[in-house]
Structure 1
């Protein structure tokens, strides 16, 4: 479950909005608008390596489901700027536990695309870390842990991680702070089955 921070605009997904979002390009478009800011269909096409026709169509679909909207005060003539309506999405237990094959398929598409994006972000950091300052190279982290926990303790850990990350929003540096940058924080908590050496 994704914990909902009180200070942010979070879209709580239902079955309809989940199906509306569960397309790889739509997920990438929405992620780009949230991370990189408002853009036109042509700009997004260049960012993502897609045709502007495809980005235009899927932006309109995202707008129909309430995920994106026009950016006021920008655009000339037929040029249309888009922005994300919300800063994040939240998936509740009723969707995670849904038995409807269509809902389960949509959720699987969404989660797999998120996993792919996060892996690409880490790979990009590794490939470009030499372009960053020594302070950023030393500050960055790609740790992993294996713990023995019950479901209740795993849920408690997840909640505390979310609370800690959210607490840093109020500590964000002011404009003009030297070497400040957006920071991506990925969190994955899930059980694994030990491999057996069956022969």
Structure 2
């Protein structure tokens, strides 16, 4: 299955760095094409607001009109890319991008938290069909930057092996991966 991934540049980062726009892209990726009014209802926003943000996303190549659906009164939208790559360190020293970068990263972290919290809130619903399959792990490693890049590439390769078109009996699954440095604060004797 061919994947469409885009590396975010500074122009794209500025356009996407809005919590509502990130949610719109997420919903279109997760659930497929939708209208501005349908998305607005799901997000508690007016169709005018979602329509405006969808047009902004389209202008920057994130979404496009789905011409196979709808009519003159009803515009359907779909995502253009399956995923984004963001090299945050590329933009970290740029004062003009610190606001958009922070907004993007914080919104992404909040969305990640929301998805996991939602699962835990509804975990009972999945117990019979999924049993012990859901996994949440936290590792603390000692790595060089090169080893962290290697590890991430290997994880990406494993995920790619499991990526395919949906089949009967499948359930949509969220998989997260992060590798980042942390400060050490050892206690002195």
Please give the TM-score of this superposition, normalised by the length of structure 1.
0.86
Decide which moves more: 116-125 or 104-113.
104-113
Deviations 1:83-139 (A, max 9, x none): 00111112247x634522122321221111111001000000001111124241310
Hey, which bits of structure 1, 4+ residues long, moved more than 3 A? Answer: 195-198
Contact conserved, 2:6 with 2:85, CA < 8 A, in 1?
A: yes
Moved more, 60-69 or 103-112: 103-112
Whether the aligned pair in 1 keeps the contact of 2:91 and 2:97 (CA below 8 Å) is no
Structure 1 distance, partners of 2:68, 2:32, is: 15
The count of aligned residue pairs is: 188
Instruction: Assess if the C-alpha contact under 8 Å between 1:129 and 1:137 holds in 2.
Output: no
- Show structure 2 runs of 5+ residues with no match: none
Aligned to 2:173: 183
RMSD of aligned C-alpha atoms?
Answer: 2.0
Cα distance in 2, alignment partners of residues 192 and 27 from structure 1: 26
Unmatched runs of 5 consecutive residues or more in structure 1: 1-5
Shift of 1:197: 6.3
**Alpha-carbon shift at residue 12 of structure 1 (Å):** 2.0
Q: Are 1:163 and 2:157 an aligned pair?
A: yes
Question: What CA distance in whole angstroms lies between the structure 1 residues aligned with 2:84 and 2:91?
Answer: 17
TM-score with structure 2 length normalisation?
0.91
2-structure distance, mates of 1:173, 1:80: 26
